[in-house]
Structure 1
Amino acid sequence: MDGARMHAQLVSSHVRKDEKKGATDNGPEKDERINVDEPLWDQESYIGRWKHFAFITDCRTIFYNEERLCEAKKLCEDYKAGKEPTGTTKKDVIWAKKLRDSAFHPDNGQLTNVIGRMSFQLPGCLFLTAGMLAYYKYARRIYYNFNYTPSSGQVRKERISAVRTARGIVGWQVINQGFNAIVNYSNRNARDEDQTDENGIATAFLVATAAGSVAALTFRKMMSYRGDLMKRWTPFVAVAAANMVNLPIMRQNEIKHGIEVGPKESEKSIMKSKLAALKGISECVVTRIVMAAPGMMLVPVIVNILKPYCFYQMRPRLEVPLQTALCGLFLSFMIPTALAIYPQRNSMHVWMMKLCDEEYDKYQELTGGTPNRVYYNKGL
Structure 2
Amino acid sequence: MLLPRREAAFPSGRRRTTCPSMPRGSCGGPRPMGGGAGGGGGARRRRRLAGCQWRREGMAESAGIPPFQLGRPRFEQTSFYGRFRHFLDIIDPRTLFVTESRLKEAVQLLEDYKHGTLPPGVTNKELWKAQKIKQAIIHPDTNETIFMPFRMSGYIPFGTPIVVGLLLPNQTLASTVFWQWLNQSHNACVNYANRNATKPSPASKFIQGYLGAVISAVSIAVGLNVLIQKANQFTPATRLLIQRFVPFPAVASANICNVVLMRHMELEEGIDVLDSDGNRVGSSRIAAKHALLETALTRVVLPMPILVLPPIIMSLLEKTALLRSRPRMALPVQSFVCLAAFGLALPLAISLFPQMSEIETSRLEPEIARATTSETLVYNKGL
CA distance in 1, matches of 2:209, 2:59: 45
Match of 1:215 among 212, 217, 220: 220
User: Where has structure 1 moved over 6 Å in runs of 4 or more?
Assistant: none
Q: Is the 8 A contact 1:189 1:254 kept in 2?
A: no
Aligned match of 1:23: 63
Deviation at 1:22, TM superposition (A): 2.6
Aligned match of 1:332: 343
Q: How do 1:293-308 and structure 2 match up within 5 A? A: 293-308=304-319
Q: Is the 8 A contact 1:73 1:96 kept in 2?
A: yes
Deviation at 1:363, TM superposition (A): 0.7
CA distance in 1, matches of 2:333, 2:257: 31
CA distance in 1, matches of 2:153, 2:349: 14
- Does 2:253 align with 1:248? no
- Does 2:333 align with 1:322? yes
The two structures have a TM-score, normalised by structure 1, of: 0.76
Deviation at 1:345, TM superposition (A): 1.0
- Does 2:233 align with 1:201? no
The two structures have a TM-score, normalised by structure 2, of: 0.75
Query: Which has the higher Rg, Structure 1 or Structure 2?
Result: 2
Aligned match of 2:183: 176
- Does 2:246 align with 1:234? yes
| Aligned-partner residue type, residue 242 of structure 1 | A
Aligned length: 320
Deviation at 1:48, TM superposition (A): 1.0
Deviation digits for residues 24-55 of structure 1, max 9, x if unmatched?
Answer: 4xx51xxxx41122111111111111111111
Aligned in 2, Cα 1:311/1:257: closer, same or farther, shift over 3 Å? same
CA distance in 1, matches of 2:324, 2:215: 38
Aligned match of 1:363: 368
| Aligned-partner residue type, residue 126 of structure 2 | D
CA distance in 2, matches of 1:258, 1:110: 29
Aligned in 2, Cα 1:259/1:342: closer, same or farther, shift over 3 Å? same
Q: Is the 8 A contact 2:208 2:261 kept in 1?
A: no
Aligned in 2, Cα 1:74/1:183: closer, same or farther, shift over 3 Å? same
Aligned in 2, Cα 1:20/1:251: closer, same or farther, shift over 3 Å? farther
Q: How do 1:254-269 and structure 2 match up within 5 A? A: 254-263=266-275, 265-269=276-280
Deviation digits for residues 40-71 of structure 1, max 9, x if unmatched?
Answer: 11111111111111111101212335665454
Deviation at 1:208, TM superposition (A): 2.2
Aligned in 2, Cα 1:211/1:300: closer, same or farther, shift over 3 Å? same
Deviation at 1:235, TM superposition (A): 1.0
Aligned in 2, Cα 1:78/1:255: closer, same or farther, shift over 3 Å? farther
Aligned in 2, Cα 1:251/1:109: closer, same or farther, shift over 3 Å? farther
CA distance in 1, matches of 2:357, 2:366: 22
Q: Is the 8 A contact 1:59 1:119 kept in 2?
A: yes
Deviation at 1:293, TM superposition (A): 1.6
- Does 2:126 align with 1:92? yes
Structure 2: give runs of 5+ residues left out of the alignment: 1-57
CA distance in 1, matches of 2:98, 2:326: 38
- Relative CO higher for 1 or 2, CA cutoff 8 Å, sep ≥ 6? 1
Greater alpha carbon shift after TM alignment, 319-328 vs 179-188? 179-188
Aligned match of 2:298: 287
SS at match of 2:280: coil
Deviation digits for residues 90-145 of structure 1, max 9, x if unmatched?
Answer: 332121111122234456655444333321221133121111112xx112xxxxxx
| Aligned-partner residue type, residue 328 of structure 1 | L
Deviation digits for residues 263-291 of structure 1, max 9, x if unmatched?
Answer: 1x323222222332332232222223322
Q: Is the 8 A contact 2:139 2:146 kept in 1?
A: yes
Q: Is the 8 A contact 1:180 1:246 kept in 2?
A: no
Aligned match of 1:130: 164
- Does 2:61 align with 1:50? no
Deviation at 1:303, TM superposition (A): 1.4
Aligned in 2, Cα 1:235/1:302: closer, same or farther, shift over 3 Å? same
| Aligned-partner residue type, residue 152 of structure 2 | M
Percent of aligned pairs sharing the same letter: 32
CA distance in 2, matches of 1:222, 1:200: 33
Q: Is the 8 A contact 1:284 1:379 kept in 2?
A: yes
Structure 1: give runs of 5+ residues left out of the alignment: 1-17, 140-164, 354-359
CA distance in 2, matches of 1:213, 1:202: 16
Aligned in 2, Cα 1:108/1:45: closer, same or farther, shift over 3 Å? farther
Q: Is the 8 A contact 1:56 1:119 kept in 2?
A: yes
Aligned match of 1:309: 320
CA distance in 2, matches of 1:98, 1:204: 30
